[in-house]
Amino acid sequence: MPGLKGRAAVAGVASTRFGEHWDSDSYDLLAQACRGAVADAGLSMDEIEAGWVGIAAPFTGTGGAMLADAVRMFGKPITRVENFCATGMDAFRNACFAVAAGVYDVALACGVEKLRDQGASGLPAVSRPDPVLERPAAPALFALAATRSFSEYGWDEHDLAEVAVKNHANGAKHPLAHLRSEITVEQALAAPPVAEPLKRFDCSAISDGAAAVVVTRPEVARGLNHHDALVTVQACAFAVTTAHPHFAPGVQWVGFPATQKAAAMAYEEAGISNPLEEIDVVECHDCFTITELLNLQDLGFCETGTAARFTRDGHTRADGELPVNPSGGLKCFGHPIGATGCRMIYEITSQLQGRAAGVQVADSRIGLAHNLGGPGSVGAITILARED
Amino acid sequence: MPGLKGRAAVAGVASTRFGEHWDSDSYDLLAQACRGAVADAGLSMDEIEAGWVGIAAPFTGTGGAMLADAVRMFGKPITRVENFCATGMDAFRNACFAVAAGVYDVALACGVEKLRDQGASGLPAVSRPDPVLERPAAPALFALAATRSFSEYGWDEHDLAEVAVKNHANGAKHPLAHLRSEITVEQALAAPPVAEPLKRFDCSAISDGAAAVVVTRPEVARGLNHHDALVTVQACAFAVTTAHPHFAPGVQWVGFPATQKAAAMAYEEAGISNPLEEIDVVECHDCFTITELLNLQDLGFCETGTAARFTRDGHTRADGELPVNPSGGLKCFGHPIGATGCRMIYEITSQLQGRAAGVQVADSRIGLAHNLGGPGSVGAITILARED
């Protein structure tokens, strides 16, 4: 069956600054991102035919009317999507399906989250009280992965710190990033513990923010602003597993089956056989530093157990063989949950078009965005290519 | 542009009993509905390629993993959709897009809600605390519509009671309905007030339940169980307006612009010029009796101001010119929010195939399902046709 390859294009992108927005609500952030993406495409809001809005937490907003009210787009179809941390990317995915079906010429995918108002993280309110099983809070959950990876692969806290240092170096240069300071390995290692062995700089920022993407058929995008740097969808693959993997027998917790499955699906859809050679730039889900290391393996960029060495050798730096999170990642750009997937599409598109607002990686033609949603439950991968 | 007309088919449907399910959780209900729909199609769960699950309230569940865990469908793409009371129908709509795009041959759309555990309604927990505007609770909101309609059209409480009596007569005969008792006009008029002029029998049931629909391309459905009674999608139209229409200047509150807009879109997509003549059976969003009356007008089945007379004259009875809510409707079948849209698809499909579990209407070839989501914010319409 045909996938999405070459059947949808990214015609415009925008992101708000991620961080603390005490003077803006969800509507304000969504409006800023959506108006930005529509203007970036060279369109007006009236030309948008349908919307998909990603919102993870009910305190941010509910229903398609959230987007309608934010941008005064009334009388059109709008869907709210929620899929843990892959929420924004799933909004994008569903917009792509409708466009690929030919039902709409021009669709808007966006995501927003307002987390700072909810205290330190707001995350407890995102998870429902499960009637059967309790879920540990995110840092405790990923601390299990770090502990087990240390034991299994011989990695240590210094390996994690290398990821943090790289992503801080990138994030410091992005004008829209939440955490904009460089750090050293020594600072990372000396930081206070959050959930051993994860320390402060191993954890991503908890942010407010919104991002948006205009999705069109490629023929339509060829008549819009970025016709000379057309970015098309090569794959958008999702794999969902249990919400309770930490209770599943046999789960080693040194990698995420959801990402591994999604990667296999995405590479098949895009026709990619050697990810490391063929993919030029990556935004991946570094909710914690350990997650980025495990992602590199799950995404097939290096052999099992070698991600720490791969990182220490500088391959994932902005000037390395495989730039990973040139935006600063969730780690420094921030992580307003519903917005993150669309923010990654914004970053990868900007990179491919040579107009990244922060660090610009050289000569990138194919980029990959990856989300890991829930407690390892959702693997979500979008592959974009510059076609001209 | 092509709509969905004839590009997706309903290959299987199922619904749980709606009502009080103290001994089942969301997973149980979802599993029962989904396994039922898949079996109804003559498929196995392994053959489902992707899922869409509609859940309105976070206390029911979050994320696509809810469905994965319920039916042990791991490693496949699953999206959670939320769109107020149109949640389940929007899950169906997005599944149709992916199937029409040719990305999947066989998709599962479903919805679930567990409301009874939350006390009388659970609804306050569905609505977020809006930073700017408060929303009145549902009965108070629709009481405004009744009050204004009485003034504008000369309707009265007896007109509302006629709707309740009809829907109770239908619901009493459906083995899966929540409220299964007939009532008289006298009983309806003597019932205790909830929000004047709405009384107890003017309000829909607050229920637990789940429903599911297998969506395929029509060619695929022709090789499955119901090949001799193929039901295809003729339209699936959504129109979203503000979440705060009760504050919008000029809103008369005697009809819902979202439904009017969605109806225009749906009829255009399906190629229907005379709804009353061409449509044979309707499931519409009777969250309150007044809503059914206003829907009849918004959907173009009768002139403005005439819905009460149209109902009193018996046209909407199961043996009338236009059977409306032969299932008993939200009023008696019940209203587990995320499930309702899929439950309507279940009922319309069953009616068109001549295998309704409750009241079977005669000679129906084209059916319409309608949801009104939020405070009049979302108008959602699906039109199905039996093609053989």
Please give the pLDDT value at position B119. Answer: 57
Please give the pLDDT value at position A285. Answer: 98
Average pLDDT of the segment spanning A304-331: 98
Whether A203 contacts A140, CB under 8 Å: no
How many angstroms separate the CA atoms of A9 and B149, rounded? 47
Task: Select from A53, A96, A103 the residue whose CB has the most chain B CBs within 10 Å, as the one to mutate to test that interface.
Answer: A103
Please give the pLDDT value at position A138. Answer: 86
CA atoms within 13 A on the CB side of B356: 28
How many angstroms separate the CA atoms of A257 and B368, rounded? 41
Place of tokens 């004008």: A175
Cβ partners under 8 Å of residue B161, min gap 6 = B185, B188, B189, B201, B202, B289
How high is the mean pLDDT in each 10-residue block of chain B (388 residues)?
A: 91 98 96 98 98 94 95 97 97 98 98 83 45 64 95 98 98 98 98 95 95 98 97 98 80 91 98 98 98 98 98 98 98 97 98 98 97 94 95
Buried b / exposed e over B267-304, threshold 16 CB at 10 Å, is: bebbebeebeebbbbbbbbbbbbbbbbbbbbbbbbbee
Place of tokens 């709606």: B18
- ipTM score of the complex? 0.96
Indicate if A85 belongs to the active site.
yes
Amino acid of residue A263: A
Handedness of CA B315, B319, B324, B330 (dihedral sign): positive
Helix H or strand E encompassing A170: helix A157-171
Buried b / exposed e over A145-168, threshold 16 CB at 10 Å, is: bbbbbbeebebebebbbbbbbbbb
What's the farthest any 2 CA atoms get from each other in chain B? 57
> Where do runs of H (alpha helix) occur along B77-221?
87-100, 123-126, 138-153, 157-171, 185-190, 218-221
Query: And the tokens for A303?
Result: 């052999």
Helix (H/G/I), strand (E/B), else coil: A382 = strand
Tell me the nearest-neighbour CA distance from B65 into chain A, angstroms.
5
Q: How many residues does chain B have?
A: 388
Place of tokens 């009023």: B331
Please give the pLDDT value at position B252. Answer: 81
Please give the pLDDT value at position A129. Answer: 46
Q: Is it the case that residue A124 has pLDDT exceeding 50? A: no
Chain A: residue nearest B338 by CA?
Answer: A63
Pick from A25, A79, A243: CB nearest B65: A243
Amino acid of residue A294: L
Cβ-defined contact of A240 to B78 (cutoff 8 Å): yes
Please give the pLDDT value at position A135. Answer: 53
Helix (H/G/I), strand (E/B), else coil: A252 = coil
Q: Around Cβ A44, how many Cβ atoms within 10 Å? A: 10
The 8-class DSSP code of residue A365 comes to: -
How many angstroms separate the CA atoms of B348 and B352, rounded? 6
Closest C-alpha to A111, from A175, A167, A37, A20: A37
Chain A: residue nearest B132 by CA?
Answer: A25
Indicate if B335 belongs to the active site.
yes
Query: And the tokens for B225?
Result: 């169980």
What's the farthest any 2 CA atoms get from each other in chain A? 57
Cβ partners under 8 Å of residue B8, min gap 6 = B95, B96, B99, B100, B215, B216, B217, B218, B232, B233
How many angstroms separate the CA atoms of B255 and B149, rounded? 9
Whether A58 contacts A71, CB under 8 Å: no
Cα A258 to Cα A96, A251, A307, B65, B77, distances in angstroms: 21, 12, 18, 11, 10
Cβ-defined contact of A69 to B25 (cutoff 8 Å): no
Query: And the tokens for B114?
Result: 């567990």
Number of cross-chain residue pairs from A and B with Cβ atoms under 8 Å apart: 203
Please give the pLDDT value at position B129. Answer: 46
Partners of A260 on chain B (C-beta within 8 Å) are none
Cβ-defined contact of A97 to B103 (cutoff 8 Å): yes
Chain A: residue nearest B256 by CA?
Answer: A75
Q: Which of A138-142, A248-252, A298-302, B265-269 has the lowest mean pLDDT?
A: A248-252
The 8-class DSSP code of residue A279 comes to: -
Please give the pLDDT value at position A21. Answer: 96
pLDDT digits (tens, 9 = 90+) for A168-199: 999 999 999 999 999 999 999 999 999 999 99
Place of tokens 């139209």: B237
Amino acid of residue B261: K
Place of tokens 């995110």: A138
How many angstroms separate the CA atoms of B97 and A94, rounded? 8
Please give the pLDDT value at position B176. Answer: 98
Query: And the tokens for A195?
Result: 């959930």
Query: And the tokens for A43?
Result: 């369109």
Please give the pLDDT value at position B135. Answer: 53
How many angstroms separate the CA atoms of B43 and A60, rounded? 39
Determine which one of B21, B168, B178, B335 is catalytic: B335
| C-alpha dihedral, A241 to A246 to A251 to A257, nearest 10° | 30
Burial class (CB in 10 A: 0-12, 13-18, 19+), B72: exposed
Please give the pLDDT value at position B114. Answer: 93
How many angstroms separate the CA atoms of A84 and B144, rounded? 37
pLDDT digits (tens, 9 = 90+) for A218-230: 999 999 999 999 9
Average pLDDT, chain A: 94
Please give the pLDDT value at position B126. Answer: 41
Determine which one of A178, A226, A285, A335 is catalytic: A335
Place of tokens 């007006």: A44
Cβ partners under 8 Å of residue B274, min gap 6 = none
